[in-house]
Amino acid sequence: MDASTIVCKCEEINIAEIELAIKSGANTFDDIKRLTRCGMGPCQAKICTNLVRQIISESLEVPLSEIRPPRLRMPLKPTRISALVGNEVSSSVISVFSESAPQEDDENHG
Amino acid sequence: METDLLIIGGGPAGLHAAYVAASNGIKTIVVDESFSLGGQLRQQTQRLTNLPKQFDSQIGITLMQTLVERLTDLDVTILSKHTMIGTYKDGRIGVSNGQRTIPISAEKVIVTTGAAEEAFVFPGWTLPGVMTIGAAQIVMNREHVIPGKNAIIIGSNDFALEVGKQLIENGVSLQGVIENEDQLIGCKEETIQFLKEAGVPIYQNSYVTQASGAGEVEKVIINHNGSEKEMEIDLVCIGKGLTPILEPFEILSCDFAYEKDLGGWLPQYSTLMETSTASIYVAGNAAGITNLGAILLTAEIAAISVAESLGRQCKEEATEKRELLWQELYHLESADSKAKFHGRIKLMREFQDNVDIQLSKLFNMSVGGV
Amino acid sequence: MAKQYDVVVIGSGVVGSSIAFHLSEGGQKEILVIDKDYPLSGTSGSTQAWVWVHNKTPSWYGELSMLSAELYPFLERKIGDVEYKRTGGIAPFFNESDRESALRLAEKQAEVGIEIDVLTRDQVLEKEPALSPNIAGATFSKIDGNVNPFRLVELYIRAAKKNRVQFSFYNPVIDIKRDKGIFEITTKKEVFRAKQLVLAAGPWTKGVGKLLGVDIPVKQVRGQILVTEPLAPLIKHTIGGMRQADNGEVLIGYSKEEVGYDRRTTLDVIQDTAKMAVEYLPDLAKANIVRCFAGVRVIPNDGQPILGEIPTIDNAYVAVMHSGITLSPLVGTVMTELLIQGETSIDCDKLRLDRFSEFKSYV
């Protein structure tokens, strides 16, 4: 098939890009996802999961039964932030500013 | 909110499980993301055969009404337009209606989120006018809109052929069924006969090489036995089959297994329909793509297991009921596909070391003998 | 006979790949990088990827971060466009009473050359009109920014491969032995030998250290991040807690949970983070969250990087730190100096493994 055919509609990733990621050593959907953004869009790989698994299976000559779907994440459906804000208090969320004030602890996501 | 049983998905499996559970005095909540219940039954105008003994043969829409109406006097709370979006650390499930997120604390959960249609890729598949066969059926039977004038169907399973028949009945010109294999996948003689009489060409050993058009599908090129054929088409329906929806199970930390004949990856489960996560059960197409009879029976098995574990049914009674249900399921499912039932047994065997002695007899028979 | 390398690096994340690339620039060494999975499958692929400097304390740590941030433009000339953007960083505070500690921070950091402005509410809103009017003020520095972590690791590896560095992926290390001064590294796929060994496996360094007989005093800390649908430009700066990527997605989240290697997300933290998001940027209330992800970050027990020789084992080195993205170019540079010349151009004594009183080695 034409290698420019789109596989991931959301991020507009085509067959060639997925094959390139496989060629550079990625063997799993998740690893291909991080290289190409395939499956990272609004549908969260709902459409392309088995298409990509098929390409991996053909490229690496591995049966489909050995190729797992990508890691699936919350929220299971796009959800407005206003609908998420609730009364659940987890206390794990911290402010970057207040963290720099005490001298012994200093972190960020970098 | 608190409940004994939370059912995720208000399709046939969810509704039937709710009925069986609530009839056993179990307080039940059913969550469904749509505005109305029934899932895929809502657009199914075809006559359903292979239903469990307790149901008469009928079309999907009337079955849906039956399943919903039976719940009226029971302790069942319906949350329509609510979607499960995730879980909390303590195991509660969060459902959202788009305005807010509600944590639900349930003793037991049955996940009946069904299946998704498989996509199929060819150049031009992202053009408007290309849709899944299920989407075409929804457009026709729920929205009462004719999805196109000149159509082809890619794939030839029973469901694809059935919707092909409905397309013709709705005045669409069906210009071909494109099948990659050298024979039709579907086996319902009645439907195949209808298509033949309507003069629908069946292209075996064929595939779509390209769909094209300015902003929507206008033209399709197919490869038929090695030679190309151009067709003026404004509707391409993809009927490549179904695959179980996995997302809720991953969020619930359930283990997966692969069974080709059940639609690919799916949650592992026991003969109780309980997944690897305790108190989380599965039923319906989420437990393996199958016919409506088997969908309803898996739901009943799950509901009985829930009733047993909540102390509403004694072990002996529940075991006996399950055995009868499994036997009925075996007959209903094998009528369509023996491979499917074998896949199911393999899945349960690999997951469950100590299959009930009685059930194992049944399984031995079916694995070895049929 | 197992293939012998001059250097084997365990871990192909933002730290290990940087060390391998910088080492390969000299061209004299045969280098192998081993990763238990594929690059970006661990911590480096699940980060907001801030290059964050200004409120790293104590100030010597801030200084290291600043030096590393300064290296990014040079790094891009060598390995290509990693989408490094020096956006400037804003860390808002909500109480006027916090202004004093903000001023103290600015004063401290000025001593090492980090310029921080302590902004009033109006100054913050002028810089970022979308921020909440409830903010009392913020610390701000031009030095902060962000990078695309996927491009960063990918381009490190590509450049290293060009310099003939070997990589072995999907290949967990099972055992490490020493034989006449040479490390013998048994992996799932094969056995490798190395003259010098670098542990750079992020949160998994703890386990790899155990194979070598040393306790690397680090904790695994989960962070959960929310990603919105692509939005029209909303924020220009890297804000303590969130940033907007080139494609319009806003990445939100700053949480810490000690739950081992568990990478699941939870609605508890997602909802709390959503609350934080609208407290900072009220407009976000209307945005859809498309996905959330969690990363296992590594935090040394005292919070500061661990970098340098493993004191009890000749030719064994460790490089493990929380702010791997920020420190990556500097760590690659410094470790290269250490492995080749035996000393570093900047003083790294504070980062040594044996600073921990609980440091244990069984060798």
- Residue C134's Cβ-count burial label (10 Å; 0-12, 13-18, 19+) is exposed
Pair C358, C217: CB distance under 8 Å = yes
Buried residues in C240-272 as b, exposed as e (16+ CB within 10 A)? bbbbbbeeebbbbbbbbbeeeeebbbbbbbbbb
pLDDT tier for residue B355 given thresholds of 50, 70 and 90: low
Pair B288, B275: CB distance under 8 Å = no
Question: What is chain A's pLDDT, residue by residue, as a tens digit (110 residues)?
Answer: 789 999 998 999 999 999 999 999 999 999 999 999 999 988 889 889 999 999 999 999 999 999 999 999 999 999 999 999 976 555 677 777 877 754 433 444 44
Between chains, do C91 and A100 touch, taking CB under 8 Å as contact?
yes
Transcribe B131-190 into DSSP letters: EEHHHHHHHHHTS-----SEEEEE---HHHHHHHHHHHHTT-EEEEEE-SSSS-S---HH
The pLDDT assigned to C361 comes to 73
Highest mean pLDDT among B47-51, B57-61, B81-85: B81-85
Question: Can you give the three-state secondary structure of C178-227, one letter per residue?
Answer: EECCEEEEEECCCEEEEEEEEECCHHHHHHHHHHHCECCCEEEEEEEEEE
Structure tokens at B250: 């991953």
Of A58-67, B40-49, C154-163, C287-296, where does mean pLDDT reach its minimum?
B40-49
Coarse DSSP helix, strand, coil percentages of chain C, rounded to the nearest 5 percent: 35, 30, 40
Taking the Cβ of residue A90 and every Cβ of chain C, the question of whether any pair is shorter than 8 Å is answered with yes
Q: Is the pLDDT of residue B42 over 90?
A: no
pLDDT, tens digit, 9 for 90 and up, residues C263-288: 999 999 999 999 999 999 999 999 99
Q: Distance between CA C187 and CA C171 in Å, rounded?
A: 6
The pLDDT assigned to B358 comes to 56
Q: Is the pLDDT of residue B46 over 90?
A: no
The pLDDT assigned to B247 comes to 95
- On average, the pLDDT of chain B sits at 92
Which domains occur in chain B, in start order?
2-116+242-369 (3.50.50.60), 122-238 (3.50.50.60)
pLDDT tier for residue C363 given thresholds of 50, 70 and 90: low
- Residue B98's Cβ-count burial label (10 Å; 0-12, 13-18, 19+) is middle
Between chains, do B87 and C271 touch, taking CB under 8 Å as contact?
no
The pLDDT assigned to A109 comes to 43
pLDDT tier for residue B275 given thresholds of 50, 70 and 90: very high
CA atoms within 13 A on the CB side of C313: 30
Contacts across the A-C interface (CB distance below 8 Å): 183
Is the ipTM value over 0.95, yes or no?
no
Look at the block and give the residue holding tokens 């929507």. B216
Distance from CA of C321 to the nearest CA of A (A): 10
The pLDDT assigned to B369 comes to 42
The pLDDT assigned to C280 comes to 96
Residues in B closer than 8 angstroms to C270, CB to CB, are 86
pLDDT, tens digit, 9 for 90 and up, residues B187-200: 888 899 999 999 99
Between chains, do C264 and B253 touch, taking CB under 8 Å as contact?
yes
pLDDT, tens digit, 9 for 90 and up, residues C49-88: 999 999 999 999 999 999 999 999 999 999 999 999 999 9
The pLDDT assigned to A101 comes to 56
The pLDDT assigned to B364 comes to 62
Pair B7, B33: CB distance under 8 Å = no
Q: Distance between CA C88 and CA C116 in Å, rounded?
A: 10
Rg (CA), chain A: 19
CA-based nearest residue in chain C for residue A83: C285
Structure tokens at C181: 């001064």
Q: Which chains touch B (3 or more CB pairs under 8 A)?
A: A, C
Structure tokens at B222: 């197919």
The pLDDT assigned to B35 comes to 87
Task: Tell me which DSSP letter residue C230 carries.
Answer: P
Which domains occur in chain C, in start order?
3-47+150-217+302-355 (3.50.50.60), 218-300 (3.30.9.10)
Which residues partner with C273 through β-bridges? Answer: none
Look at the block and give the residue holding tokens 């574990």. B309
Distance from CA of B44 to the nearest CA of C (A): 31
The pLDDT assigned to B360 comes to 65
Task: Tell me which DSSP letter residue B266 carries.
Answer: E
The pLDDT assigned to A110 comes to 45
The pLDDT assigned to C279 comes to 94
Residues in C closer than 8 angstroms to A35, CB to CB, are 40, 150, 154
Question: Can you give the three-state secondary structure of C240-290, one letter per residue?
Answer: CCEEECCCCCEEECCECECCCCCCCCCHHHHHHHHHHHHHHCHHHHHCEEE
Of B64-73, B333-342, C6-15, where does mean pLDDT reach its minimum?
B333-342
- Residue B357's Cβ-count burial label (10 Å; 0-12, 13-18, 19+) is exposed
Residues in A closer than 8 angstroms to C61, CB to CB, are 106
| Residue among A78, A86, A108 minimizing CB distance to C289 | A78
Between chains, do A75 and B86 touch, taking CB under 8 Å as contact?
yes
pLDDT, tens digit, 9 for 90 and up, residues B242-270: 999 999 999 999 999 999 999 999 999 99
Q: Is the pLDDT of residue B370 over 80?
A: no
CA-based nearest residue in chain A for residue C303: A105
Q: Distance between CA C24 and CA C162 in Å, rounded?
A: 9
CATH number, span A6-66: 1.10.10.1100
Q: Where are the domains of chain A?
A: 6-66
Task: Tell me which DSSP letter residue B271 carries.
Answer: T
| Residue among B101, B251, B253 minimizing CB distance to C271 | B101
Mean pLDDT score, B12-27 = 98
Phi and psi at B301, nearest 5°, equal: -60, -45
Distances (CA, A) of B308 to B109, B272, B303: 14, 10, 9
pLDDT, tens digit, 9 for 90 and up, residues C162-177: 999 999 999 999 999 9
Q: Is the pLDDT of residue B203 over 70?
A: yes
What amino acid occupies position C245?
Answer: A
Phi and psi at B347, nearest 5°, equal: -55, -45
Pairing of the two strands B130-132 and B235-238: parallel
Residues in B closer than 8 angstroms to C262, CB to CB, are none
Mean pLDDT score, C117-129 = 97
Mean pLDDT score, B222-230 = 93
pLDDT, tens digit, 9 for 90 and up, residues C294-329: 999 999 999 999 999 999 999 999 999 999 999 999
Mean pLDDT score, C130-152 = 97
